[in-house]
Structure 1
Amino acid sequence: MNIEKAMHRGATWVAPETPVSDVAALMRKEDIGSIPVGENDRLVGMITDRDLALRALPDGADPRTMKARDVMTKGIVYCRTDQSIEDAIHLMEDKKIRRLPVINDKKRLVGMLSLADISHHASRDLSAELVHAVASPHEGDQTGKGARQS
């Protein structure tokens, strides 16, 4: 099965200059845990609920003045609609991520592929393999700090 059949269509995204408070409000409204960040018609990063908690709140920073650019994870990892679910699973395992933006052949963001999507469309064995990979602590990081995306 290809990714297009398993993904959630119509992903929400924000610009790098979007206030962090707006990002958090959008996550709450849409009941989502991550939002891609786009600039000049290109994906440039991803913000997760974990990014908000670990980058916007500690160290006395004022989250009211922070922008999406300040908390996003750069170097976005994505997949394409025509790839197989197995390809996405291996990418997610390798990068230890739970959500992937999906782009089409015109390089447009068209959806998101999550661990939950995969659990409904892939075999139990592949789903279990992915859960095991992304739920394992990062090497040298037993606290979970330093995770790229959640």
Structure 2
Amino acid sequence: MVTVNDLMTVIPSSIAPNTPMRTVIGVMKTEGCRQLPVLENGKLVGIITDRDVRLVMNSPVVLHGRWQDEDLLDNVTAESCMTPNPITVTPSTPAYRAAEMLSIYKFGALPVLENDTVVGIITVTDFLDYAARVLAEDVIPG
């Protein structure tokens, strides 16, 4: 049986709750990721996504100036827009269960915890990569 451990990104980048949006965006760009676990004293306290960042930075109802964007980037922290206490899985969770959770809850990722320590993150992209490999095996003789 395929487990989360077989597909997850091992030891993902993470940030602290007091990390400003400018740094959050920088880490996401540098690491090429759309979700970051938020850790405080080594413990998972939340998850922040690119959607959370977009909601902070781009209100479709409120027009604001460039200086206000700079203020948001420097003064809004991960803690103020993260999802606290996210749903998690373990490395031994069957992969299909994690896929069901991502689908049911419309999440992009689930932190992977082992003994209360973040050891990875499982994302929709991890599942797409896996599906692409499996489907390619049907087309390309192994």
Q: Look up the match of 2:86.
A: 76
- Runs (5+) with no aligned partner, structure 2: 136-142
CA distance in structure 2 between the aligned counterparts of 1:55 and 1:70, rounded to whole angstroms: 10
Q: What are the superposed Cα offsets for residues 63-110 of structure 1, whole Å, 9 maximum, x if unpaired?
A: 121111112122312111011001101111221112111112x22111
Match of 2:33, SS state, is coil
Computing the radius of gyration from Cα coordinates, the structure with the larger value is: 2
Contact 1:56–1:66 (CA under 8 A) maintained in structure 2:
no
Aligned 1:46-85 pairs, distance under 5 A: 46-58=47-59, 59=62, 62-63=71-72, 64-85=74-95
Q: How many residues align?
A: 123
Percent identical pairs in the alignment equals 28
The TM-score normalised by the length of structure 2 is: 0.77
CA distance in structure 2 between the aligned counterparts of 1:28 and 1:53, rounded to whole angstroms: 14
- Runs (5+) with no aligned partner, structure 1: 125-150
Q: Look up the match of 2:112.
A: 102
Q: Which structure is higher in RCO with an 8 Å CA cutoff and minimum separation 6?
A: 2
Flag the structure with higher helix content: 2
Q: Look up the match of 2:124.
A: 115
Q: Look up the match of 2:6.
A: 5
Q: What are the superposed Cα offsets for residues 42-70 of structure 1, whole Å, 9 maximum, x if unpaired?
A: 21111111111102443556312111111
